[in-house]
Chain A
Amino acid sequence: MEDLLFYLFAFVVIGSASVVVLSKNIMYSAFSLLFTFFGVAGLYVLLFADFVALTQIMVYIGGILVLIIFGVLLTTKITGVDIKSGTTGKVQLITASVVVVIIAISLILLFTNVEWVNQEFVQPNTTIDSIGFAFMTKYLLPFEIAAVLLLIALVGATLIARRK
């Protein structure tokens, strides 16, 4: 059953991600990101990372995706550009393909060459406790730096909004 679900989610992720890339309509791309994010959240759940999965839904779907859609809606309205993106040029196509192929090959090499250690799997009862402890002990500095960064961004955004 887990395998079935995994392939289902993987199919959703890959299918919607290809729509994101291939669609000529920016709105379609933006909205199929919803399914991509959702599928990724599903994969996290299958990895017993429930907290990360929920954060994925909350931050990426509830926050970032909404911002992206808002951005698409607002910018096209302001500049009057057609919402459908033009066909990609030859140059971009070739460059992108080369980069993608290089990354894919290196990833495949990485997966085949590394000796993976198969650990006895214990289903964690809850992940949130360990995440909390890790944040507050071992990773306190990165955690605090991220918090300060977000605060700076917040203050900066308020400042920009005020100046108008």
Chain B
Amino acid sequence: MKDYFKNVWLGVWTALIGMRITIDHLFRKNVTVQYPNVHPKDKAGWMDMPSNARNRLYVDMDECNGCNSCARACPVNCISIETVRSVPGDAPPPLASGGKRNLWVSQFEIDFTKCCFCSLCTEACPTGAIVMTTEFEYSSYNRYDLVYNFVKLQNSMSDEKIAEVKEKWAEHQKEKKKEAVEPK
């Protein structure tokens, strides 16, 4: 009997609490904006997009060490990375944050037609090279325009440089083989 009355009272009381919360929200400021007319970034009082917003990815090639973690984390396999090992004595420039680098990143492609904006790649990256930006207006008439090659885009390695490091590595391999065949 006591439980029954308590139940009824709780039912009414919790409904009232819920109503208080919703009426409170009714008079709050709207968080959404009238998008094409007002850009979210222009909304007064907004410094930037919300921290958990998912938009276009950006890869800082000066920070990327080519570890391939992001490509492995990606559930839809839209990141494809090609690296070239560096020969001893010809290491790539260190990371902007100071870490050592052993790989030349010759290609870093993100296919945004496939990307589902899960942001798993940004969490996997050990150096924080791949990040979400606030940019989301990048639709295009050609789907190949949505495949971004960040190496080309940032010109971190020119084609000649890529060819050169590939050559060097091939030579290095050859030398190694030779060494293996006829040891000193």
Task: Assess A/B contact in the complex (Cβ within 8 A).
Answer: no
